[in-house]
Amino acid sequence: MPFVNIQILKGHPQKRKDEIARRVTDAISEETGLPKEAIWVVFEDVAAPDWYVGGKTVAKSEN
Protein backbone atom coordinates (compact mmCIF):
# COMPACT_ATOMS: atom_id res chain seq x y z
CA MET A 1 0.00 0.00 0.00
CA PRO A 2 1.59 3.32 -1.06
CA PHE A 3 1.79 5.95 1.65
CA VAL A 4 2.40 9.54 0.56
CA ASN A 5 3.37 12.13 3.17
CA ILE A 6 3.07 15.73 1.98
CA GLN A 7 4.52 18.51 4.10
CA ILE A 8 2.89 21.83 3.29
CA LEU A 9 2.89 25.30 4.82
CA LYS A 10 0.10 25.72 7.32
CA GLY A 11 -2.82 27.73 6.02
CA HIS A 12 -3.58 26.09 2.68
CA PRO A 13 -7.34 25.66 2.28
CA GLN A 14 -8.89 22.21 2.59
CA LYS A 15 -10.17 22.43 -0.99
CA ARG A 16 -6.57 22.70 -2.26
CA LYS A 17 -5.46 19.72 -0.17
CA ASP A 18 -8.42 17.69 -1.44
CA GLU A 19 -7.42 18.39 -5.04
CA ILE A 20 -3.74 17.59 -4.45
CA ALA A 21 -4.68 14.32 -2.72
CA ARG A 22 -7.02 13.40 -5.59
CA ARG A 23 -4.36 14.05 -8.22
CA VAL A 24 -1.63 12.19 -6.34
CA THR A 25 -3.95 9.24 -5.77
CA ASP A 26 -5.00 9.18 -9.44
CA ALA A 27 -1.39 9.29 -10.66
CA ILE A 28 -0.22 6.47 -8.39
CA SER A 29 -3.27 4.35 -9.21
CA GLU A 30 -2.76 4.82 -12.95
CA GLU A 31 0.95 3.95 -12.81
CA THR A 32 0.71 0.98 -10.45
CA GLY A 33 -2.70 -0.42 -11.30
CA LEU A 34 -3.59 -0.37 -7.61
CA PRO A 35 -7.10 0.56 -6.51
CA LYS A 36 -7.42 4.10 -5.18
CA GLU A 37 -8.55 2.71 -1.84
CA ALA A 38 -5.05 1.24 -1.35
CA ILE A 39 -3.32 4.63 -1.57
CA TRP A 40 -2.91 6.78 1.51
CA VAL A 41 -2.14 10.49 1.39
CA VAL A 42 -1.36 12.43 4.57
CA PHE A 43 -0.72 16.15 4.92
CA GLU A 44 1.51 17.60 7.60
CA ASP A 45 0.92 21.31 8.12
CA VAL A 46 4.14 23.10 9.01
CA ALA A 47 4.07 26.56 10.57
CA ALA A 48 5.94 29.22 8.59
CA PRO A 49 8.49 29.87 11.40
CA ASP A 50 9.45 26.17 11.23
CA TRP A 51 9.92 26.08 7.44
CA TYR A 52 13.32 27.14 6.11
CA VAL A 53 14.49 27.81 2.58
CA GLY A 54 18.08 28.78 1.94
CA GLY A 55 18.76 28.89 5.67
CA LYS A 56 16.05 31.49 6.30
CA THR A 57 12.63 30.93 7.79
CA VAL A 58 9.73 31.48 5.44
CA ALA A 59 8.03 33.53 8.17
CA LYS A 60 10.68 36.24 7.93
CA SER A 61 10.44 36.40 4.14
CA GLU A 62 6.67 36.91 4.36
CA ASN A 63 7.15 40.27 6.11
Question: In sequence order, which residues have a C-beta less than 8 Å from that of residue 13 and are 6 or more positions away?
Answer: none
- Of 13, 23, 17, nearest to 43 by C-alpha is 17
CA dist 62 and 18 (Å) reads 25
To the query of whether residue 13 is one of the catalytic residues in this protein, the response is no
Catalytic residue ranges: 2
